[in-house]
Every structure is written in structure tokens, then in C-alpha cells.
Copies of this chain bind each other. A is one copy, B any other.
Amino acid sequence: MSERFFITAAPQAGRAVLVGDEARHLVRVLRARVGDAVSIFDGSGREWPARVAAIGRDEVALAAGAPLPPAPLPARPLTLAVALPKGERQKWMVEKLTELGVARLVPIETARGVAEATPAAIERLARGVIEACKQCGRTTLMEIAAPRSIPALLAAAEAAEIIVADPGGAPLAVPRAGGEPGGVLALVGPEGGFTPEELAAAVGAGAVRVALGPHILRVETAAIALAARLASSS
């Protein structure tokens, strides 16, 4: 597989343009020359083989070939709603969730949460998704949704199945009974846990409480464990 680059707009008439970090990486780090082969993807599931056509000061023009067949979408897309951990743990979590095929990450506002999903944080996470996609061969971006409260999340949930990580729950059954198609929504609370009210709201909306083993998992560990068990099996 040739080096992969993210494009913000699909090729038009076989022409595509790399800008910003992507262009700088290709030209300054990889020292690309006209005619070099690359792969480009726009985050919608499509990918194209391409060649460097022209190298400008801040952008690179590419000649794109025919699109590759798109990767199949998961039958049961997984949305993870997570009380974000801090700093590096946030970044790490996003990399892993992207690699493991999570469809969407929703930062949730909780009483005991430790990190705020500011617009700058969301922007940083979205950049992390692109980096991870480039590295792992994923062609559809993991969506980083706008942060929301648990009631707002649950009110808008369209998932066929809702799960909430809770040490008091039952072990997660995989594959799950029923198995009807539709997405899965899994909630992971902050280090201090959901409040009883938050847990009750989730259960009231139909969420099943699941425990993830005998130890107290960090937020990002619980999220990654759910992704490993639910995203790749869907």
C-alpha cells in the first residue's frame, strides 16, 4: 500500500488537491516528486490511487485514478458515548477507537467528568481520527460528534441496543441475543463513575448494564474494551 493522504474534497474530473499538513508532509517529510504514487481518501469510505501532478508552495495537485471498491460498512455500527479522559489518554483513546472500527464518538457531559470537550479539543480529536485512518487503512472517518448531556444523547438515540458500562452489571454477552440489525450505543462514564441519577436515566432509556471484568478500568480502557468486543464483531 502506498502512503495514504486525506483530502477534504473528492477528486473532480480526476484532479485532487492536498493542502495544509497533508501537503507539507508529502513534500517536506517524504520529499515527493512529480509522478510519485500515493493513495488518497476523503473519509466517506472512498479511496483512489493517485500520482503527484504538480507541487506548489502550500498545496500539491494530484491526478486521481478510478476509485477503489469501498470497504463494506459494519452491519452494527458502534457509537461510543464517553466522558472524556484528560490529555494524552484522550488522544490515545481516539487512535484506538478509530483502528478498532468505532463509527462515532460522542463526548458526554457528566457530573464527575474531568475534561471538557471544548471546540479546540474536538478539533484535536478529529485530527487524531484522520491520522489514525491514514495509518490503519480505514477509509471512513470515525465521527466526533458534538458533546451533549446524557438526557440529550438518550432522547436522540436511534440504536437498536444501548449498553452502559457499570461494575454492577452482568458480563457482556458476545454475540448478543437477538442480533437484529441496527446500531449499538455504548456509554462509558468518568473515572468516578456515573451518578445514580445518570445510571437511572440510561437504564430508563432501555440501556443494559454491563460489567467489563473484575478490575476498575480507566475510562479509555473501558471504551477500548467495548470497541474490541463490539465494533469488530459487527
Say yes or no: is A32 at the interface (Cβ < 8 Å to chain B).
Answer: no
CA distance A101 to B224 in the complex (A): 14
Say yes or no: is A228 at the interface (Cβ < 8 Å to chain B).
Answer: yes
Contact assessment for A224 and B228 in the assembled complex, using a CB-CB cutoff below 8 Å: yes
Q: Assembly of this chain: how many copies?
A: 2
Contact assessment for A100 and B225 in the assembled complex, using a CB-CB cutoff below 8 Å: yes
Contact assessment for B229 and A213 in the assembled complex, using a CB-CB cutoff below 8 Å: no
Contact assessment for A135 and B216 in the assembled complex, using a CB-CB cutoff below 8 Å: yes
Which one, B92, B135, B228, contacts A228 given CB within 8 A? B228
Say yes or no: is A231 at the interface (Cβ < 8 Å to chain B).
Answer: yes
Which one, B71, B99, B174, B214, contacts A221 given CB within 8 A? B99
- Chain B residue contacts of A100, Cβ below 8 A: 213, 215, 217, 221, 225
Contact assessment for A138 and B215 in the assembled complex, using a CB-CB cutoff below 8 Å: yes
CA distance A228 to B165 in the complex (A): 14
Say yes or no: is A136 at the interface (Cβ < 8 Å to chain B).
Answer: yes
CA distance A225 to B214 in the complex (A): 17
In residues 76-110 of chain A, which contact B (Cβ within 8 Å)? 92, 95-96, 99-101
CA distance A137 to B232 in the complex (A): 28
Counting from the closest, the 8 A-B pairs by CB-CB distance are A213-B232, A228-B228, A225-B228, A136-B215, A99-B221, A136-B216, A137-B216, A138-B215
For this complex, 19 residue pairs linking A to B, each with C-beta atoms less than 8 Å apart, are: A95-B221, A96-B221, A99-B218, A100-B213, A100-B217, A101-B214, A101-B215, A135-B216, A136-B215, A138-B214, A138-B215, A171-B233, A174-B174, A174-B229, A213-B231, A224-B225, A224-B228, A225-B228, A228-B228
